[in-house]
Amino acid sequence: MGRWEPDARGRLLKAAFELYGERGFDQTTVAEIAQRAGLTERTFFRHFADKREVLFAGAGALQDLLVSTVAKAPESMTPIEAAAAGVEAAGAAIQETGQLARQRQAIVLTSAELRERELIKLSSLAAALAHTLRRRGVEEPEASLAAEAGMAVFRIAFERWVADAAPGDLPQLIRESLERLKAVTAGGRAVAAGRRE
């Protein structure tokens, strides 16, 4: 690293998110991000591989948090409870970033390339979650099913949290989403009589 730049990473993140929101992801260059942050392109590339990775920079830390939460969950927890504890912890961390996660999601949705990258990251998270459950002694296919169920619960709660004008409590939405999944898989809530056409 070169000379000390106070919170260069944070400034670059903020500048990139602003520009992606203002002009669109495709229309923004690394040079413009660096300029807006009052830093050089070289400094940008010390922190991020490219302009896409600015949006996925938090994925590693999120996966670490999810995995360590599941690994440390009490042994008495069932696989689905452990998976839910992991995605709830991830949800709490996302909520702490405040407006950033919602801004980020709005940007990701504008680009097919970014949506694809997001799918891949979510798939990696599901695989890491299943792996961690197997390390807890959960057999297959239960480990993968609990991991997929946990990720579905997370995604659907997150989409609702992002869509709500007045954002609710994300960990609470995740718990509610799990309860609804339990009701759905138990076969509850039969199809309504009146179809919508």
Residues whose CB falls within 8 Å of the CB of residue 189, separated by 6 or more in sequence, listed in order: 183
Helix (H, G, I), strand (E, B) or coil at 147: helix
- Our finding on whether 165 is near a second copy (CB under 8 A) is no
- Which of residues 7, 96, 116, 169 is near a second copy by CB under 8 A? 116
Q: Beta-strand (E) ranges in the chain?
A: none
Q: Which of 120, 164, 168, 169 lies at the binding interface for a second copy (CB under 8 A)?
A: 120
For residues 184 and 190, what is the distance between their CA atoms, to the nearest angstrom? 9
Measured distance CA(107)–CA(99) in Å, rounded? 13
Binding flag, residue 128, a second copy (CB under 8 A): no
Q: Quick check: 184 binds a second copy (CB under 8 A)?
A: yes
Options 11-19, 28-36, 53-61, 176-184: segment touching a second copy (CB under 8 A): 176-184
User: Residue 68 interacts with a second copy (CB under 8 A)?
Assistant: no
Q: What is the DSSP letter of 19?
A: H
One-letter identity of residue 140: E
* CB neighbourhood size of 89 (10 A): 21
- Candidates 12, 82, 129, 170: give the one binding a second copy (CB under 8 A): 82
The site for a second copy (CB under 8 A) is made up of 75-82, 116, 119-120, 123, 134-139, 141-142, 144-146, 148-149, 152-153, 155-156, 159-160, 177, 180-197
